[in-house]
Amino acid sequence: MRFSSLFSSLTAVLAASTAAVLAQSPLPTPKFEALFAGQFTISSSPNTTGPFGTRVHFVISGGTLADATTGKTVATILPFADDGIVSDSGLFFPDSFLPITWSVDGHLASIKVTGIGNLNNGSMSYAHVETDSPTYSWMNSNFFITKLSATNPTQPTFTIYGVANATTKY
Ligand SMILES: *[C@@H]1O[C@H](CO)[C@@H](O)[C@H](O)[C@H]1NC(C)=O
Ligand SMILES: *[C@@H]1O[C@H](CO)[C@@H](O)[C@H](O)[C@H]1NC(C)=O
Ligand SMILES: *[C@@H]1O[C@H](CO)[C@@H](O)[C@H](O)[C@H]1NC(C)=O
């Protein structure tokens, strides 16, 4: 009895919230712009097999990051690893922290990258940036995505995009 009355009140709440959601018009679609373009080199990958598929441990020896507009190098990518999962269905879920050194002031940043794709053509990810660089402190409070191309499997290229127009970042 108590269960069925709880269930019917839950049903009522769900029906009400569904109606409320349907009544909303969509927010403006976010627009992104290319901010940085980079590349790195994968030197090896020991793998472990588990319940979700294959967990890769791509050892990345480092790379560079450039301004997407000028092409000028703005940071060095330090060695890191991607410890993502290749599922049995072939999907790849990248999972890594990229440490970088900004050329302008020598401060470091850490870019956490998690997303979805496959090993043949690449992936798209959410990127979260943490830095103590005064020049790039604006990145700490903003939303970024990355697109990675794996056309060259040992030297992937990627672009970091930010939400276009400073006043509408999130
Ligand atoms: C680990 O898996 C990746 C992705 O499938 C593959 O490129 C790499 O050769 C594998 N490493 C080893 C040591 O088998
Ligand atoms: C990307 O890779 C998948 C899996 O190998 C393949 O089926 C698909 O055709 C590829 N897409 C492009 C655009 O190359
Ligand atoms: C950014 O704002 C400017 C000025 O309002 C506008 O012209 C431009 O189209 C906007 N860019 C995007 C990607 O929305």
What is the rounded average pLDDT for all residues in the chain? Answer: 89
pLDDT for residue 23: 80
Residue 142 CA to ligand 3 center (angstroms) comes to 17
Closest residue by Cα to atom 12, ligand 3, is: 164
Give tens-digit pLDDT for 102-155: 999 999 999 999 999 999 999 999 999 999 999 999 999 999 999 999 999 999
CA angle 22, 31, 131 (to 5 degrees): 115
DSSP annotation string for 72-139: -EEEEEPPEEE--EEETTSEEE-EEEEEEEETTT--EEEEEEEEEEETTTEEEEEEEEEE--STTGGG
CATH classification of 32-168, choosing from 3.50.20.10, 3.10.580.10, 3.60.15.10, 2.40.160.20?
2.40.160.20
* Residue 164 Cα: closest atom of ligand 3: 13
pLDDT for residue 29: 86
Closest residue by Cα to atom 8, ligand 3, is: 165
Asked whether residue 64 carries a pLDDT value surpassing 50, the answer given is yes
Q: Is any atom of ligand 1 closer than 6 Å to the C-beta of 87?
A: no
Cβ atoms within 10 Å, residue 53: 17
